Chain A
Amino acid sequence: MKASYNWLKEFVDFSEPPKELAHVLTMAGFEVEAIEQINDDTIFDIGITPNRPDCLSIRGIARELSAILEIPFNALHPEITDSKGTGPTVDISNSDLCSRYSSRLVTGVRPGPSPQWLSKRLESHGIRSTSNIVDITNYVLLEFGQPLHAFDFDKLAGKKIVVKKAGSKKKFSTLDDVERPLHKDMLLIWDAEKPVAIAGVMGGKNTEVSGSTTNILLESAFFKPASIRRTSKALNLSTESSYRFERGVDFNGVTMALDRAAHLIADIAGGTVSGMTDNCPEPFRPQKISLTFKKIQSYIGADIGEAFVINTLINLGFKTDKAGEGITVTPPSFRNDVSGDVDIIEEIARIYGYDNIPSTLPIMQMSAAPVHRSRSLIQTVRKSFTGSGFTEVINYSFMNTESLDILQLPKDDMRRKVIYVRNPLRKEEEAMRTTLVPALLNNISLNLNRGERSMRFFEVSKVFLPSEEKLPHEVVQVAAVYHKDMDSSIWQYSHDGFYDMKGILENLLQELKIKDYRFDHENYALEPYLHPGKACSIIVSGERIGSLGTIHPGVADMLGIKGNLNVLEVFDLDRLIGAMQMKTVFAPLPRYPYAERDVAVVVGDDVMVSSVRNEMLSVHSDIIESINLFDVYKGKPIPKDKKSLAFSIRFRSAERTLTDTEVDELHALIITRLKENLNAELRS
């Protein structure tokens, strides 16, 4: 809302210069967002909150200033004393949507350009000057906050007004020459035959005031806010009128504004003002709100005196009756936002000044916060990944479903069951994410394009999956991408990025105290976006909780990703909670020394290290303390379809020192088992 300094001063004779006045307004809840100097005037651009439609007017803002600065408000009531006859009949068919409709006929007007003071004032408030009559309705709209409409009376069929819904009427052409589709529940203003305006939103082309108009009918009404808002939303048409009606105008100000406009028209455009027709099917019922002074003080936490309370309320236009320890307050008709005692308290606090309220700390009973398991889980995950050199990213919860095609997900994949956003801003936001992977791949692409190399990113975020309930499942996922650039540093690590990623996950599982896990390549479908030879499922407590692997070269190509990229995905972090060992019990340190033996075997290429380990452990799992794989070798002189594995095995008993003979026997037994069961040969 734009408001002129000079215009405000007509109502309240303040002495504050513009900058100071702006501060006064801001600190009372009317934030001055901009100050503009126009000629000899200053225009404030004030943010009016939706609860204060009364301040969508010069008089409203002036009234506030009067209360804050304690300077009398000069109401300037226009009075029409010399009216003749009455206006046309007005029928309100839908009185639930229109509680007041008042009108005056002004005959013999001479439409023409506005006087300079009028057009200048409108223009400095951002309203284009057109002709005197329309300009006056706009001027009064700014002054009172009451939207008015002027009809060319001679174009009204049957010389009457009917207020009723659109019903079967389908279309209507508004002033701005646009044919608007109507909904049956929209409230319209009709003459005897046809609609002439969309109530509270915009007048019709068919009864517009023109240069040849001689008689006008001025409308000033109170339409039900919700109805106007629905209409305005449905038409996608917000006007100065609809903006005020949907927030609520001053019920008792309806006729005051009408009189002011009629008066100005007669003054500026000539003509004779007729008597008023004022239909008021639902009169205004002021409410009474009672509260105690004690409540005001304890709610705000400031020692505010009774006199201050009463004066403030009176200055703001409220009626007050002191009754014992408290007061009964009647809000004025322009304050439809005030309905409870806390609304009254706000008025007092506002004028008292929030700055004058002391700072205190609450007195409260102590209580223990419940353990937030999923939050601490997320924190552990974050700590583990950052500890492994991963940087956290945060991506939008949205996705473009085409990204699922890039991942090659089959049609029946769970992640294809997406929840769509009804009004996305862009294609990228059409649906809610069902997987974190596409966004992480995009993060890699973007950074590669910007010349970055060697990236480790992870994200912990919710994904959204459909459910039987009204609201979808929100599941916390973890995903990580590891882009390895072999030539980036003198400190090269030549091993495959897959094992880096696997190690990082194993670290995470250890940090979560999860012991029951394995990596499976055979029993579950592999992710289609991963390299089929370098991928696996992560199995925790017998359940597939995620996947891990090198990106499929085809997918990498599509995304323009070069280099070694591994991807880790944990579908539902909460599913790990059950597998976490909650209690840590100390294991005594070994008292007896260990013995170590190395063994190198040649096995078939398809024999997995895990099988070799299991075979070894089966010999004597209590005494084999650890098995450390220290070499994997393929190539000459090992036959083509075989590989050499070298292990260092540590034996230890908890009860005694093992003898060399015992250890040698166990070692020999291990070799025998490997030979018999895995067709292994001892490498010499």
Chain B
Amino acid sequence: MLNDIESIKSSASAEIDKAQSLKEVHDLKVKYLGKKGILTSKIKSLGSVPPEDRPVYGQTLNQTKIFIEKLLTGQEEKFRTSELDSSLRNQRIDVSIPGCRSPLGRLHPVTQVLEEIITIFVSLGFTVEEGPEIELDFYNFEALNMPQDHPARDMQDTFYISDDVVLRTHTSPVQVRTMQKSTPPMRVIAPGKVYRCDADVSHIPMFHQLEGFMVDKNIRMSDLKGVLELFVHRVFGPDTSIRLRPSFFPFTEPSAEIDISCVMCKGSGCNVCSSTGWIEILGAGMINPRVYEMAGYDPDLYTGFAFGLGIERVAMLKYSINDIRLFMENDKRFLEQF
């Protein structure tokens, strides 16, 4: 009898192991554990076993039942999982179909560069000021030490609205306007549109500038150099060097043109830098005491620096754009690259 049970156990074990589907597992369950199952009938026949042997038989039968049940459950679980898996696999979608994207809006590259630069200066404690784009001749020229009949006016081709109202040719008028309404110490940036009566491959009649200036009691020319160096490193990378060249602006003295080492060739010479290794990027200088006089400051008390930067120029260098007119054309294929 015990041998019978042992052989049931081993045959059940072998059959369950070989089962290929959930149905086969189910059939084996009926075969062994069903109402008329092989093991069930053995349990039913327990009554015919001599009473002294019953505990041993009973225990063995019970253990065998648990053993078979466990095997069956294990197999069942296995087939359920794989059937679910294959049914899910059959619901496969084509992942190569393009995603349903919500359209991606972009800021104009000029705005992106301008905002980047503003962020740099704001992090240095500069505040943002604005001034009118249609400006009085006084603020655009006169207060910046460019009286009527001054040859420096030739440096900027001017759009006129009337005799004494112009489209501002630079953001520098904001210097005097800001000085008139506040007192040092001040560090200010003034971004905005400026206008020049000029149009060709490298000039457009409207472009963007950022004016920066700082006035206090002990501002040195070396501070101008330090601040601009910091700015250039942030925008073009720390391996970019800067070079100051003497120049002339009526509203700064001394004046300087600031060059950066060519961002394309890293200074070895290429088309972009006309083989000089340097690219002119902004104009700057120590604020001319005449500007303080115009603003009503004591020129013996305060010193400061100012600089003006062309945003399109920076964007062109940053993104290797070769034609300034692209900025104003607003071709979608251009705008979506940035």
Query: Which residue numbers of A lie inside 8 Å of B, CB to CB?
Result: 26-29, 31, 49-52, 225-226, 229-230, 246-247, 298-302, 340, 342-343, 345-346, 349-350, 354-355, 357-367, 369-370, 372, 375, 382, 385-398, 419-425, 429, 432, 443, 446-447, 450, 452, 454-458, 462, 464, 470-472, 474, 489-491
Contacts and interface: CB of A to CB of B under 8 A. Distances in A.
A337 to B, nearest CB: 8
Contact of B167 (A298, A340, A382, A421): A421
Interface string B103-145: 1111110110000000000100111101011111000000000
A301 B160 CA distance: 40
Contacts of B303: 299
B331 interface: yes
B232 to A, nearest CB: 11
B199 interface: yes
A364 B187 CA distance: 9
A560 to B, nearest CB: 17
> Which residue, A422, A450, A457, A472, has most C-beta atoms of chain B within 10 A?
A422
Q: Which 7 A-B pairs have the closest CB atoms?
A: A301-B222, A389-B103, A29-B246, A301-B220, A386-B105, A49-B248, A346-B254
Give chain A's interface secondary structure class.
loop
Give chain B's interface secondary structure class.
mixed
B239 interface: no
A419 to B, nearest CB: 6
A396 B167 CA distance: 13
B223 A50 contact: no
Nearest to B204: A396
B216 A443 contact: no
B276 to A, nearest CB: 9
Contacts of A454: 103
Interface string B223-258: 101110110000000000001111110100111110
A393 B335 contact: yes
Contacts of B223: 301, 360-362
B107 A446 contact: no
Nearest to B280: A31
Nearest to A458: B105
Interface stretch (B41-49, B151-159, B263-271): B151-159
A446 B257 CA distance: 38
> Which residue, A398, A450, A454, A471, has most C-beta atoms of chain B within 10 A?
A471
B59 interface: no
B247 A362 contact: no
A390 B133 contact: no
B300 to A, nearest CB: 10
A357 B332 contact: no
B320 to A, nearest CB: 20
A419 B161 CA distance: 8
28 contacts: A27-B245, A49-B248, A51-B248, A246-B149, A298-B220, A342-B288, A354-B244, A354-B256, A355-B243, A361-B226, A361-B230, A362-B219, A362-B220, A367-B185, A369-B127, A370-B127, A375-B128, A382-B107, A389-B104, A393-B335, A396-B206, A420-B161, A446-B329, A447-B330, A464-B134, A470-B165, A471-B135, A490-B98
A98 to B, nearest CB: 16
> Which residue, B97, B332, B335, has most C-beta atoms of chain A within 10 A?
B332
A419 B134 contact: yes
A397 B206 contact: yes
Contacts, number: 234
Contacts of A247: 151
B18 to A, nearest CB: 49
A28 B246 CA distance: 6
Nearest to A440: B330
Contact of A456 (B105, B122, B126, B159): B105
Contacts of A424: 159
B248 A50 contact: yes
A344 to B, nearest CB: 10
Nearest to A396: B206
A654 B105 CA distance: 40
Interface residues of B, number: 84
Contacts of B257: 31
B209 to A, nearest CB: 14
A366 to B, nearest CB: 7
Nearest to A297: B220
Contacts of B220: 298-301, 360, 362
Nearest to A384: B105
Given A246-B151, A343-B253, A464-B134, A385 B248 contact: no
B244 A390 contact: no
Nearest to A389: B103
B105 A389 contact: yes
Nearest to B166: A422
A492 B254 CA distance: 62
Given A229-B149, A394-B327, A419-B161, A432 B134 contact: yes
A358 B254 contact: no
Given A387-B105, A471-B134, A423 B247 contact: no
A343 B125 CA distance: 30
A398 B205 contact: yes
B205 A392 contact: no
A360 B225 contact: yes
A387 B107 CA distance: 10
B20 interface: no
A490 B330 contact: no
B167 to A, nearest CB: 7
B68 interface: no
B289 interface: yes
